[in-house]
Amino acid sequence: ALEGVTVDSTIFRPATFIQLSIDHLTEALWLGCLLVVMVLALFLGDWRTTLISVVAIPLSLAVALLLLRWRGETINTMILAGLIIALGEVVDDAIIDVENVLRRLRQNAALAQPRSRFAVVLGASLEVRSAVVYASVIIVLVFLPVFFLPGLAGTFFKPLALSYILAISASLGVALTLTPALCLLLLDVRTAGRREMWLTRRLKTSYGRWLPAFARRPGAAVFTLAAAFSLTAWVWHYRLGEEFLPNFKERDFLMHWLEKPNTSVEASRRATQAAAQDLLRVPGVRNQGAHIGRAEVADEVVGPDFTELWISIDPKADYETTIARVQAVVDGYPGLIRDLLTFLRERIKEVLTGAGASVVVRVFGPDLE
């Protein structure tokens, strides 16, 4: 109905970043599972032992997802991140039982009077049961304080901790029930009689050479580990830096532009148009939009000296290079208060720096007296 007006809904759409993030995390989760299967097949060297682990790992993650659904949770980036982090513990729970059962079956096959397969599998599973349970309980206790974090930090990290705890709890349940049953069904004398993979044998041989040296000099071993830990802690504290949020690679940005007080709308418009033309000339910038000042019933108390520009980057462009060029354009206007933030960081910054009261009175202008 509006003649001569073109509506571009792609200039600023935060939902696009959310969908891309979920797609990337889902892809990483599937690739991680595939790599785990390949590594298991390489080290275990038998399709039966590999099959047991392959069944246990996705089943643990599926149980965790069902528990999340039962709690009414939705799949988001933090939930998926917690599942990906828990994948290492899930894999360990799946392997430790199978490896110990296989080792006991090999030892049992060499006895003059072998025991029944049921007794061997039961005994091997009970041997590692306490270690698996204690490790899982300790990890859960480590993550419990996250649920008591106040404010934004608690809201941000609770889904990650919840999905992680549910994943390792489901993995513990699978390791206690399904894994021994699968070992009893699939592992037999023929499986136990096969030699270990050459890579496993070589790693064990190499480890056997180093272990006696550390065992004879426990003080040196402890000193070496303490020095390595101290060096790592130093590098982490002084070199890596600290930041509450990671650098989310959003493709949509906000640039806040604050000129001198009492700047007219026309002056702000000229400066904004010049900046927009410079930004559109940057390779990788798809489009941009801007608004100056505020409307009569707007939610922001700003004057015509305040401009907000939306900058959208092409998904095919190199992210870091394009951001550096955009930042160079922004820095090319001296004498102005300006910043370049992603939408998520801008929203979180407003929450962290905003007032907590229900009614706030702000005084602004050239003469505050």
pLDDT tens profile 71-110: 888 877 788 888 888 888 888 888 888 888 888 888 887 7
CA–CA dist 182, 101 (Å, integer):
11
Contact assessment for residue 328 and residue 278, using Cβ atoms and an 8 Å cutoff: no
Residue 31: in which H helix or E strand, if any?
A: helix 14-44
Distance CA 12, CA 6 (A): 15
CATH code for 252-353? 3.30.70.1320
Q: Where are the domains of the chain?
A: 14-194, 252-353
Cα–Cα distance, 162 to 166 (Å, whole number): 6
* Residues contacting residue 367 through CB under 8 Å, at least 6 positions apart: none
pLDDT of residue 167: 92
Which one of 179-193, 305-319, 327-341 scores highest in mean pLDDT? 305-319
CB atoms inside a 10 Å sphere around CB 115: 12
Report residue 287 as tokens: 């489009």
Tell me: pLDDT of 358 over 70: no
How much is the pTM? 0.68
Does the pLDDT value for residue 155 go beyond 70? yes
What average pLDDT does the segment 278-290 reach?
85
pLDDT, greater one: 247 or 231: 231
Identify the CATH number of the domain defined by range 14-194.
1.20.1640.10
Amino acid present at 343: F
